[in-house]
A and B are shown apart, each in its own frame.
Chain A
Amino acid sequence: GENVEQHPSTLSVQEGDSAVIKCTYSDSASNYFPWYKQELGKRPQLIIDIRSNVGEKKDQRIAVTLNKTAKHFSLHITETQPEDSAVYFCAASKNNAGNMLTFGGGTRLMVKP
């Protein structure tokens, strides 16, 4: 089955700096890659997703890039703010697996004021 690796497991940045979280996947048939944010004590929420027919997607300070050849995708957060502090999870799925998501292990992002 699919295997998703996520790095780093923890990331500390200064407020205003950029943060990058990387994920690799094993199944070349995977074609949908969402990112979820989980603040402390709260439920995960989708922040951005990308499908395999595009290489990059942006939403304000957040962007995701996808390299299908290398089977990796990354989350980029620019101008980080303290409220960006949370655990971020990447995930992958493919068409013939319904909506089954395989999640990475998570990255704890800490933004220092």
Chain B
Amino acid sequence: DGGITQSPKYLFRKEGQNVTLSCEQNLNHDAMYWYRQDPGQGLRLIYYSQIVNDFQKGDIAEGYSVSREKKESFPLTVTSAQKNPTAFYLCASSIGQIQETQYFGPGTRLLVL
């Protein structure tokens, strides 16, 4: 799992501001995912991408956007439309599409000023 990096470790957002969280992997994985983790709760899927230039909404996509222009990168933008963005954001990747181990990055903690 050391092949997945996320930056920054901490991110502060002001009211009405869009912020972008970075996720990079050098594992040559096709699939990538974004999860949101709130205190005491499980992981909820925001967006996922099974291949370059393609992505699908997860359970809680509202207020978020993604792009997948390169296999190694899957950035997540938290837009001003996301009214409760404070959470721990985890990126993950897996080899392909079918029920394989997901490897997680170290996470980004987003806080609202």
Contacts and interface: CB of A to CB of B under 8 A. Distances in A.
Interface of A: 1, 4, 6, 9, 31-32, 34, 42-46, 49, 51, 89, 93, 95, 98-106
Interface in B92-106: 94, 96-102, 104-106
Contacts of A42: 106
B107 A99 contact: no
Contact of B99 (A6, A9, A93, A105): A93
Interface string B44-81: 11001010000000110000000000000000000000
Interface residues of B, number: 27
Contact of A95 (B35, B41, B94, B99): B99
A100 B99 CA distance: 8
A3 to B, nearest CB: 11
B97 A43 contact: no
Contacts of B102: 34, 46, 99, 101
Nearest to A4: B42
B97 A106 contact: no
B50 A98 contact: yes
A102 B44 CA distance: 7
B98 A45 contact: no
Contact of B48 (A49, A100, A105): A100
A105 B98 CA distance: 23
Contact of B90 (A44, A95, A105): A44
A106 to B, nearest CB: 5
B45 A45 contact: no
A103 B42 contact: yes
Contacts of A6: 42
B68 to A, nearest CB: 14
A103 B43 contact: yes
A70 to B, nearest CB: 21
Contacts of A1: 59
B58 A106 contact: no
Given A43-B107, A44-B90, A44-B104, A98 B43 contact: no
